[in-house]
Amino acid sequence: MKSTSFNLFRHPLHAMLATICLLGFGTASANTDNPIPAVADQWRFEVTPYLWAPGIKGTIGLDNGFAKSADYSSSNVLSNLKSGGMIAAEAHYGRWGIMGDLVSATLQNSGSVPVMTPEGAARVADKITLQQTILTGAATYTFANTKNAYVDGLLGVRAIDVTATLNGDLEGTPLKETISKTTSTVDPIIGAKGRYRIADSSWYVPFYGDIGSGGGTTNITWQAMVGVGKSFGKLIDASLTYRALYYDMKAGGVLQKTTMQGPQIAVTFKF
């Protein structure tokens, strides 16, 4: 079985600029609230809607009879986003907590390539659709909590359900072909997350990292994120980060050595 290369490289600069403007607006205020959460024997919650615009580079495995491979790139992942939603949430009591993160997206790109047939030159039109849902859940424990640093260890699972579909047809003829492959897997993960305060200000560096394997399908998966954020009082944070997610699935899996990486903008509501 051959494979399909799926490349979406360039990051949406307008999304980055919008967040920079948002963070810059906060600079004009005299807000010096400490962005480091305080551990206490009471409940605290966070809800974070966000937009992650990753480039995707890797190999999409497809069972195939006619069109065995496709190779293309996109200048803007947002132009290929047909539907989706992204949100994260946390709940803490004392040093213990739970967290969840959901990414659901459908990406679609169309194109055509010239081919030679017995009747002469022709073009093959293709449309590839990537539907994926990624759900991460974990229990957390706070290992460090000072006025300048906060670190949680985490232990949990990441589930992914991904379907790659390739539709091809020879323009001007009735010849058509549809190839589709779905993979679902749940993998244990271990990692850490937190934030570091910048120069006793309301600015901070958020970070996240995890690694996992198993589930029968995945050789290895990891995720990492780092960036800059700012607290706007005690109820709202905003951040601009760079996030990467990697999957290396075994033979037969859809995502074989595939990396999703790009900028992420987020607003966190704390209560």
pLDDT digits (tens, 9 = 90+) for 9-50: 344 445 444 544 554 544 444 446 899 999 999 999 999 999
The CATH number of whichever domain residue 43 belongs to comes to 2.40.128
- Domain of 88, in residue numbers: 3-270
| The predicted structure's pLDDT at residue 172 | 58
Q: What SS3 string covers the chain?
A: CCEEEEEECCCCHHHHHHHHHHHHHHHCCCCCCCCCCCCCCCEEEEEEEEEECCEEEEEEECCCCCCCCCEECCCCHHHHEEEEEEEEEEEEECCEEEEEEEEEEEEEEEEEEEEEECCEEEEEEEEEEEEEEEEEEEEEEEEEECCCEEEEEEEEEEEEEEEEEEEEEECCCCCEEEEEEEEEEEEEEEEEEEEEECCCCCEEEEEEEEEEEECCCEEEEEEEEEEEEEEECCCEEEEEEEEEEEEEECCCCCEEEEEEEEEEEEEEEEC
pTM of the predicted model over 0.95: no
Number of domains in the chain: 1
Give percent of the chain with pLDDT exceeding 70. 66
